[in-house]
Structure 1
Amino acid sequence: MDERIGGFHAGYRRCASRHKSSQFELERTVLGADQREFAALGEPSIVGRKGAEQLTKPAAFDVIVVHSFSRFFRDQFQFEFYVRKLAKNGVRLVSITQDLGDDPMSTMMRQIMTLFDEYQSRENAKHTLRAMNENARQGFWNGARPPIGYRIVEAGQRGAKIKKTLEVDPLQAETVRTIYRWALRGDGQSGPMGLKTLATTLNDRNIRTRDGGRWGIAAVHLILTRSTYIGEHRFNTRDHKTRQPKPESEHAVMKVPPIISREEFEAVRAKLKARNPRWTPPGVSSGPNLLTGICFCAACGGAMTLRTGRGQAGGQYRYYACSTKARMGAAGCKGMAVSMDKLDEAVIAHLEDRLLEPQRLERLMEQLLDRRQEWADQRRTHVTELRKRATEAEAKLNRLYEAIENGMLTPSDGSLKDRVDELTRIRDQARIDAERIVSSIERVAPTITADSLHRFAAAARRKLRDRECGYRRDHLRALTQRVEVVSKTEARIIGSRTDLLRALASSDDGNFAAVGGVLGFKPKWRTRQDSNL
């Protein structure tokens, strides 16, 4: 309407959902014959409340009717701010259940009531959050969409409420395992993948998200950093208003079935941290120097960084030098500098002569035999579940097609097309995942033998010597994660048995995948100065 009409009223209702909004109607006897309604759905504050914003603009009505003042705002400051803003436009706010006038006493009473409404709202929020935290600690799902790889199932009834929890979704869980496997070991054709490469590879291979969309860097990063996949789903991690992270002591941990092992999760997290430019300079993670990032001074623990110089003949020399001494001088560390070429050669030669010796590898790999069989059994179980899911989806599709043929359903039904697309996606994704698992089982199925260890050792030696190999440094990190320089003639090499097992487990005729970037500090295969040397 273009001009103000006396007695024209507006009703403002704030509902949690459209379902409740459709069930709620303002009485005509309250609003009168001429009325307009403004609804704000599920908005806890003024930010985003389009209905409330509309009311504050000059409009062709005189009165806004609400059920109670608390339904307009539960924040006393915002309430008074918008009441004054409405008053400038000549609009009054009237409550059906709280009848107050316009005199100073009524204004004071309204302010007191809205202040109590705000207090009550905060108290309710506190108790609700406490109950939800306890619900999560008991292993029950509080609501919202589950993380990819899980689905919601009923866990039983407590009182009048049906409790729900999470279980592994075999279809999407395999996608999660694939992402972790590629992040750690690659796909058999390349080394470990970064976030962008992971997203690109998933999209190129037509592995879709849960909604059938394409992957992005943020979605991949969320999967690689979410503790839910090791069986610990965290609730109450951020403030719902400011989105700021809360202290870990306030988190509620919900136990769920794990999809990956804790070792894999920690390895990926260390890899992401090592390649984060906030923590590791780009030259460390992508530079050409073989030992950059894993070479340290044994005296002070500082990193050994590259230093260059020129000799009397004009030639350029490259050294690993103690960074602490370079920054602080002799007072910081007595330090030392060793030739880069000599140290690189000494480390590679030691790995070739001592670690990559088949008999020694065989002793180190004893635990792998049982692990690989257990892994293969778990994978075969997943294949069975995926094939069952594909068969069920195919059967449902056939029943839909039969219903169309028999005239029970019409092809023009919009929901029918969505259902067919969903079942087709589930069937195709399950088949793709099952084939990928079978392929991975076949690739690592042969038992570790002396011949396979010989091939692995030979391939590792070849790749460590190949200066043209783009993953040479990553291959080295699959065998050792820390080199400590004790003196100009002595260095201590430290490696992780877990990474060594992983490198051999992912090998294909010696073409092992590089672990890369996982900076371990646990002595495993060279733990003591004993007969194993």
Structure 2
Amino acid sequence: MIDAALTRPPTFTLIVVHSFSRFFRDQFQFEFYVRKLAKNGVRLISITQDLGDDPMSVMMRQIMTLFDEYQSKENAKHTLRAMKENARQGYWNGALPPLGYRIVAAEQRGAKIKKKLEIDPIHAETVRLVYRLALKGEGDSGPMGIKSITNHLNARNIRTRDGGKFGIASVHQILTRTTYIGQHRFNTRDHKTRNAKPQAEHAVMEVPPIITEAEFKAVQAALKARSPKWMLPRAVSGPTLLTGICFCASCGGAMTLRTRKGGQYRYYTCSTKARQGKSGCSGLTVPMDKLERAVADHLEWRLLDPQRLTAMMDQVLERRQEWNEHRRGHIAELRKRVAEAEAKLKPPLRGDRERRHQRCRSFA
């Protein structure tokens, strides 16, 4: 609606709202857009708060919207407090539950149905498998890292709740979420900025555990001991030569940096393969120095070829000659204008000199 109102000419010239609080609950944003719309010839009218356009009405509108913003923040505070208490009592506040759980009706209070989480027997096995692979691996593989677990799940066609493939981030979330030991944390981040909140503001909701606390602690210790391979390359490494310009020939995904042995070995690998394993893409993993040297050698061969250098120098000399000709023409034009200006100034100066001579003779 705002975009349509700000087109030139506007699609409409009037916006009608029930009250000013329905337009914006932030006083600064409200005034910003009201003035922006007014500049484009669009008026905002409230059905229940009929005010004019005179200075007194503008002041009243600003006071009313400021109170609306305060009331909105108060309502949000009380709503969050009620939701935190609801979570502490073991009831689900909404949204999709974590993998391995499902929402069930627990009780009815008046017209409202209170809901809780219970273990989903199908997807709970996937969660147990992830922890088992992290602690013991499969067969003689030994404990697996996050990337290996992701490859294992996708290679065996084990899917997420919505049928998609697992990624490194989703596996890492499973391995670090306290929900699976029966402690789901609510209000961990600010819903607007997504910044983490202090632990004192969290509300812990008790849910049926899928794994034991000992298993969870063992996995956390293993993750802490390993390098964070699940993170984006730019979070653990410096700039690389081919970042953003090198892509996988198989799937078109970006070739990103991966390290081994604590950063001793550095590779370019397909980002799709890094996230989803070989089932996502069978792209190559190339040592960083080898690929960068090959690219540099190829560029050197293409750019420093004698025939190419001759052609480039010919183009440079041709452009330089054109620039010199243009400069000579510009200088000639400037000299012409100077001559014209001097020609216009000479007659008045000559007349002034003659008049001064006549005055001198008359005094003599």
- TM category (shorter chain) comes to 0.5 to 0.7
1:57 aligned onto 2:7: yes
**Displacement of 1:62:** 1.6
Matched to 1:167, the amino acid is E
Task: Give the equivalent residue in structure 2 for 1:123.
Answer: 74
Task: Give the equivalent residue in structure 1 for 2:107.
Answer: 156
Task: Check the 8 A contact 2:100/2:124 in 1, yes or no.
Answer: yes
**Displacement of 1:207:** 0.7
Matched to 2:7, the amino acid is K
Task: Give the equivalent residue in structure 2 for 1:299.
Answer: none
Match of 1:169 among 120, 126, 135: 120
**Displacement of 1:161:** 1.4
Task: Give the equivalent residue in structure 2 for 1:110.
Answer: 61
**Displacement of 1:189:** 3.7
1:215 aligned onto 2:163: no
Task: Give the equivalent residue in structure 2 for 1:72.
Answer: 23
Relative distance call for 1:265 and 1:53 in structure 2 (3 A) is farther
Relative distance call for 1:140 and 1:115 in structure 2 (3 A) is same
1:83 aligned onto 2:57: no
Matched to 1:251, the amino acid is H
Give per-residue Cα distances to partners, 1:394-452, cap 9 Å, x unaligned.
Answer: xxxxxxxxxxxxxxxxxxxxxxxxxxxxxxxxxxxxxxxxxxxxxxxxxxxxxxxxxxx
Task: Check the 8 A contact 1:235/1:254 in 2, yes or no.
Answer: yes
**Structure whose CA Rg is larger:** 2
Give per-residue Cα distances to partners, 1:269-319, cap 9 Å, x unaligned.
Answer: 1111111359x99887698xxxxxxxxxxxxxxxxxxxxxxxxxxxxxxxx
Task: Check the 8 A contact 1:56/1:82 in 2, yes or no.
Answer: no
| 1:177 match: secondary structure | helix
Task: Give the equivalent residue in structure 1 for 2:330.
Answer: none
* Aligned residue pair count: 238
Task: Give the equivalent residue in structure 1 for 2:209.
Answer: 258
Task: Check the 8 A contact 1:230/1:265 in 2, yes or no.
Answer: yes
Match of 1:270 among 218, 221, 235: 221
Task: Give the equivalent residue in structure 2 for 1:181.
Answer: 132
Relative distance call for 1:164 and 1:131 in structure 2 (3 A) is same
**Displacement of 1:158:** 2.1
Give per-residue Cα distances to partners, 1:192-220, cap 9 Å, x unaligned.
Answer: 11111111110100111111111101110
| 2:113 match: secondary structure | strand
| 2:117 match: secondary structure | strand
Matched to 1:133, the amino acid is K
Match of 1:240 among 167, 188, 191: 191
1:94 aligned onto 2:37: no
Matched to 2:66, the amino acid is L
- In structure 2, how many angstroms separate the alpha carbons of the residues matched to 1:285 and 1:273? 13
- In structure 2, how many angstroms separate the alpha carbons of the residues matched to 1:247 and 1:196? 30
Pairing 1:23-422 to 2, within 5 Å after superposition: 51-58=1-8, 59-276=10-227
Task: Give the equivalent residue in structure 2 for 1:324.
Answer: none
Relative distance call for 1:61 and 1:264 in structure 2 (3 A) is same
Task: Check the 8 A contact 2:4/2:11 in 1, yes or no.
Answer: no
Runs of 4+ in 1 over 4 A off after TM superposition: 280-287
Matched to 1:56, the amino acid is L
- In structure 2, how many angstroms separate the alpha carbons of the residues matched to 1:283 and 1:214? 25
Relative distance call for 1:267 and 1:154 in structure 2 (3 A) is same
Give per-residue Cα distances to partners, 1:238-268, cap 9 Å, x unaligned.
Answer: 0001100001110000000000001111111
- In structure 1, how many angstroms separate the alpha carbons of the residues matched to 2:161 and 2:11? 47
Aligned-pair Cα RMSD in Å: 2.3
Relative distance call for 1:161 and 1:265 in structure 2 (3 A) is same
Task: Check the 8 A contact 2:5/2:42 in 1, yes or no.
Answer: no
Task: Give the equivalent residue in structure 2 for 1:379.
Answer: none
- In structure 1, how many angstroms separate the alpha carbons of the residues matched to 2:11 and 2:159? 51
| 1:166 match: secondary structure | strand
- In structure 2, how many angstroms separate the alpha carbons of the residues matched to 1:76 and 1:86? 15
Task: Check the 8 A contact 1:183/1:198 in 2, yes or no.
Answer: yes
**Displacement of 1:71:** 0.7
- In structure 2, how many angstroms separate the alpha carbons of the residues matched to 1:184 and 1:286? 24
User: Structure 1, unaligned stretches of length 5 or more?
Assistant: 1-50, 288-533
Task: Check the 8 A contact 1:224/1:268 in 2, yes or no.
Answer: yes
User: Structure 2, unaligned stretches of length 5 or more?
Assistant: 238-258, 265-364
The TM-score normalised by the length of structure 2 is: 0.62
Task: Give the equivalent residue in structure 1 for 2:331.
Answer: none
| 1:78 match: secondary structure | helix
Task: Give the equivalent residue in structure 1 for 2:337.
Answer: none
| 1:140 match: secondary structure | coil
- In structure 2, how many angstroms separate the alpha carbons of the residues matched to 1:166 and 1:84? 48
Give per-residue Cα distances to partners, 1:467-518, cap 9 Å, x unaligned.
Answer: xxxxxxxxxxxxxxxxxxxxxxxxxxxxxxxxxxxxxxxxxxxxxxxxxxxx
- In structure 2, how many angstroms separate the alpha carbons of the residues matched to 1:108 and 1:70? 16
Task: Give the equivalent residue in structure 1 for 2:346.
Answer: none
Pairing 1:513-524 to 2, within 5 Å after superposition: none
Matched to 1:225, the amino acid is T
Task: Check the 8 A contact 1:274/1:285 in 2, yes or no.
Answer: no
Matched to 1:95, the amino acid is S
